[in-house]
Amino acid sequence: MGSSSGLVDWRGRPVDTKKHGGVRASIFIHAMVLLTNAPNIANMMNIVSYLRGTMHMGVAEASTTASNYFAALQMFSIPAAFLADSYLKRFYTVLLFAPIEIIFLTGVTIVAEPELGTVNKWSNKLLSSHKWMVTSWQGYILLAVQAYSPSLHPLPCSPAAASSTTCEPLHGANLSLLLLGLYLIPIGDGAVRACLPALGGDQFDLADPDEQRQEASFFNWYTFAVSTGGFVGLVFIVWVQNSKGWGIGFAVSAAFIVLGLLVWAAAFPLYRNQLPMGSPITRVLQVFVAAFKKRSVRLPENPSELKQINKDDDANAHEVLPKTDGFRCLEKAAVETGNDAGAWSLCSVTQVEETKIVLRMAPIFVAAVLCYIPVPLLLSLTVQQGNTMDTRLGAVHISPATLFLIPTVFQMVILIVYDRVIVPPLRRVTGYVGGVTHLQRIGIGFIATIIATAIAAVVETRRKITAEESGLVDATTGIPLSVFWLTPQFFLIGIVDVTSFVGLLEFFCSEASMGMKSIGSSIFYCILGVSAWLGSLLIQVTNRVTQRANGGGWLDGTNLNKGKLDRFYVVLCIIEVVALVIYMFLARRYVYRNDQRVVAQEERKDDTGNGLAVI
C-alpha cells in the first residue's frame, strides 16, 4: 500500500495512494471550479453594465467600484487560507464558508422575485438557525432590498438625458448600501479560491514521476476549468441577466454554486488532506523575534550545530527543510545558547527556512503586483468602450460582457494545445516538467499585457475619431464602429491568463512550504486584488492630476467621448514596461526552492531521505 507523507484521508488515517488522490480526485475539484466560476465570472464581468446602466455611475466611479469589487474577491482568500493552514483542513474551510455566497444569491432572488417568498419570513428563519451568518445575511438582504425598492436606487433615465443633471447617479446612504452588499459577496468565494488549488496540489506526490507530471498538468486543467466556467457564464448567465432580469440571473447563479458544492463534497472520501500545522504567521514572527534577541550571537561554523528537527520529535513536522544560503542573520534564531526559553527564543532550521521562503518570494510578489495593474483596468474599461460601440452581430445585439468569450475560448484552446502538444517536446528539450520555468511563463504574459494596452490606446483613438466624424460626441451609445475592434486586446488578455495566471498560481503553490500551501494560493489572488486596488487609485490620481478648470480629469463624467481614455492607456503601457524591467531583474536572481526538472523514472526519494534525483 503506497502512502503520501503527512496526508490523511477523511477519517484521519494515513492515505493509500491507490485509493486516495490522483487524477480521479482532482476531477471533482475541477468540476467545482467550473460550476462556481460560471456565475462568479459572469457577475464580475457584467457588474460594470449594472453600475453604469441601473445605478447611473460615471466612468471613473464605475471603473473604481468594479476594480474594488474585483480586488475584494481576491483579498478575501487570505483569512480563509490562514484558517485552512492553521486550524482547519482545506476541505472543511470551503465547506464552512462557501454557503455564504449561496445565501447572498438566494436572498437577492427572494427580493427581486417577490412571488417566491416573503423576505422577513425567510430571513427570520435563517437568522434563528444560523446565527454565525447574521452579518452576511443582513448585508445581502439590504442589497436585495435596494435593487427592488425604487426609493433606494436612481430612477431610470432615457439615453437622451444620460448626459444631463436629471440622470442622477447613486449617492449617499444608497451608495453605501450597494458597496456593503458587493463586498460581502467574496466571503464565500474567498475560501474556494484559497483552498481548491492547494487541495488539488495535495492530491499528487511530487516524488512519484507520474504524479509529478500530473501535478504540473493539474494547474493547466484548473485554469481550463476556470475558462470553461467563464464561457458558460458569459454565454448563459449574462444572457439571462440581460434578457430575463437580474433576479432570475441570481437564481441561476445560486443553482450553479449549489451544484458545484454538492459535486465537490460528494468526493470527500477520495481526497488526500493536509493536517493543519499551526499558524504560519506565528512561526515566522518567532524567527524574527528569536533572531533579534540573538543578534550578537556568533553562528557556529558547522551548520549541524543549529537546532534540527525531525518528524519523530514533532507530529506537525511533515516537511523538514534543509539549510540554504542567504539571510544568515535569521539563522541565529536556531543557535542553541543554553538560556533559551520557549519557541520565541529558539527556532528550528526548518522554521528559519520557511521564513526565508517568504522573504525570497516577497520581491516577486511586489513585481507581479505592478505588472498586473493594467489587467483589471483593461477588463472594466474595455467593457465600457464596448457599451458605446455598435454591438450588432448580424441581426443580434450582443452584450459587451459577452466579448470576454474571445479570450475565454482562446484560453480553453491554447491550454489544451499547450498541455498536450507543446509541453511534452519542450520537456524533453529543457528537462523542466512544465516545459519552461514558472517565472519564464509569467514573463510572457506580462509582455502580452504591454502589447494589449498599446493596442487598446490605438482602438480608443479610432473610436473617438469615429464619434467625432459621426457627430455623436454627446451620445453615450450607437457609435458606428463595430465592437469587434476590441477583439485584439481581448485576445491578448487571454494570453495573459494562459501564461501569467497559471504561472503565478503554480509558482506560489509550489514554492510555499507544506504548512503554507493555502496561503501560497491566496498570495496569488492577493496579487490580483492589490493590483486592482492600485488601479483604482491610479484612476483617482490621474483624474486629480489632469483635472481641467472647466471640468474633470481624463476619466471624469459619464461620456467616454469627452474623456481621454486613449491617453490613460498610454500611461498604463508605460507603467507596464517599467514593471516588466523590474520583474525581469528580480526573476533572473530568484533561486527556486523546488527543482522543476523531471524526476528520474528509476530514482525516487530514497529510504534515507536524500531528496529527489533529477535529470
Residue 360 pLDDT: 92
Of the candidate ranges 330-334, 573-577, 594-598, the one whose mean pLDDT is the lowest: 594-598
The DSSP code sequence of 55-108 is S---HHHHHHHHHHHHHHHHHTHHHHHHHHHHTS-HHHHHHHHHHHHHHHHHHH
- Quickly state the pLDDT bin for 116 (edges 50, 70, 90): very low
Looking from the CA of 123 toward its CB, the CA atoms found within 13 Å total: 20
Joined together, the cell numbers standing for residue 394 give: 448580424
- Quickly state the pLDDT bin for 16 (edges 50, 70, 90): confident
Of the candidate ranges 41-50, 226-235, 278-287, 433-442, the one whose mean pLDDT is the lowest: 41-50
The span from the CA of 560 to the CA of 187, in Å, is 33
Q: Own/partner pairs for 132-139, CB < 8 Å, 24+ apart?
A: 133/99, 133/100, 133/103, 135/184, 136/100, 136/103, 136/104, 136/184, 136/187, 137/103, 137/107, 139/180, 139/181, 139/184
Write the CB contacts of 155 (distance below 8 Å, at least 6 apart in sequence). Answer: 168
In sequence order, the β-bridge partners of residue 599 are: 614
User: Residue written as cell 446565527?
Assistant: 131
Residue 603 pLDDT: 44
The span from the CA of 455 to the CA of 588, in Å, is 28
* Closest to 354 measured CA to CA, from 388, 327, 378, 314: 327
The span from the CA of 299 to the CA of 292, in Å, is 13
In sequence order, the β-bridge partners of residue 7 are: 274
User: Residue written as cell 490621474?
Assistant: 542
User: 155-169 burial string, b = 16+ CB within 10 Å, else e?
Assistant: eeeeeeebbeeebee
CA terminus-to-terminus distance, the chain: 28
- Amino acid at site 43: N
Percent of the chain, pLDDT > 90?
15
Q: What phi and psi values does residue 93 have, to the nearest 5 degrees?
A: -65, -45
Q: Own/partner pairs for 510-513, CB < 8 Å, 24+ apart?
A: 510/201, 510/438, 510/594, 510/596, 511/357, 511/360, 511/361, 511/592, 511/593, 511/594, 512/357, 512/361, 513/280, 513/319, 513/321, 513/353, 513/354, 513/357
* Closest to 274 measured CA to CA, from 197, 212, 352, 198: 198
The span from the CA of 180 to the CA of 170, in Å, is 14
- Quickly state the pLDDT bin for 356 (edges 50, 70, 90): very high
Based on its alpha-carbon atoms, the radius of gyration of the chain, rounded to whole angstroms, reads: 26
Is 143:181 a contact under the CB 8 Å cutoff?
yes
Is 415:498 a contact under the CB 8 Å cutoff?
yes
| Domain 354-594, CATH among 1.10.132.20, 1.10.443.10, 3.40.718.10, 1.20.1250.20 | 1.20.1250.20
The span from the CA of 451 to the CA of 576, in Å, is 10
* Whether the predicted pLDDT of 564 surpasses 70: yes
Is 493:379 a contact under the CB 8 Å cutoff?
yes
Q: Is the backbone of residue 210 left (phi > 0), alpha (psi -120 to 50) or beta?
A: alpha
Alpha carbon 43 to its chain's center: 15
Residue 4 pLDDT: 52
Is 41:501 a contact under the CB 8 Å cutoff?
no
Domain boundaries, the chain: 7-106+136-155+171-275, 280-353, 354-594
The span from the CA of 112 to the CA of 24, in Å, is 40
3-state secondary structure 279-316: CHHHHHHHHHHHHHHCCCCCCCCCHHHCCCCCCCCCCC
The residue-averaged pLDDT of 455-465 equals 92
Q: What is the DSSP letter of 42?
A: H
* Closest to 380 measured CA to CA, from 475, 490, 479, 278: 490
Joined together, the cell numbers standing for residue 336 give: 542553541
The residue-averaged pLDDT of 563-574 equals 91
What is the total residue count of the chain?
615
The span from the CA of 70 to the CA of 569, in Å, is 20
The span from the CA of 453 to the CA of 573, in Å, is 5
User: Residue written as cell 432570475?
Assistant: 248
- Amino acid at site 245: G
The residue-averaged pLDDT of 313-332 equals 75
Q: What is this structure's pTM? A: 0.76
The span from the CA of 197 to the CA of 218, in Å, is 9
Of the candidate ranges 92-101, 260-269, 375-384, 421-430, the one whose mean pLDDT is the lowest: 92-101
The span from the CA of 388 to the CA of 559, in Å, is 9
* Whether the predicted pLDDT of 601 surpasses 90: no
- Amino acid at site 493: I
Question: Does 7-106+136-155+171-275 match 354-594 in CATH topology?
Answer: yes
* Whether the predicted pLDDT of 483 surpasses 50: yes
CB atoms within 10 A of CB 368: 30
Residue 21 pLDDT: 82
The residue-averaged pLDDT of 597-603 equals 56
- Most confident among 30-34, 103-107, 194-198, 529-533 (mean pLDDT): 30-34
CB atoms within 10 A of CB 213: 18
Residue 486 pLDDT: 86
CATH of the domain spanning 7-106+136-155+171-275: 1.20.1250.20
In sequence order, the β-bridge partners of residue 389 are: 479
Percent of the chain, pLDDT > 70?
82
Q: What is the pLDDT of residues 510-562, one digit of tens each?
A: 888 887 888 888 888 888 888 888 888 898 888 888 886 556 778 877 678 88
The sign of the dihedral angle between the CA atoms of 566, 572, 576, 577 is positive
* Whether the predicted pLDDT of 225 surpasses 50: yes
Give me the chain's average pLDDT, please.
Answer: 78
Residue 153 pLDDT: 67
* Whether the predicted pLDDT of 354 surpasses 80: yes
Q: Are strands 479-482 and 389-390 parallel, antiparallel or unpaired?
A: parallel
Is 357:593 a contact under the CB 8 Å cutoff?
yes
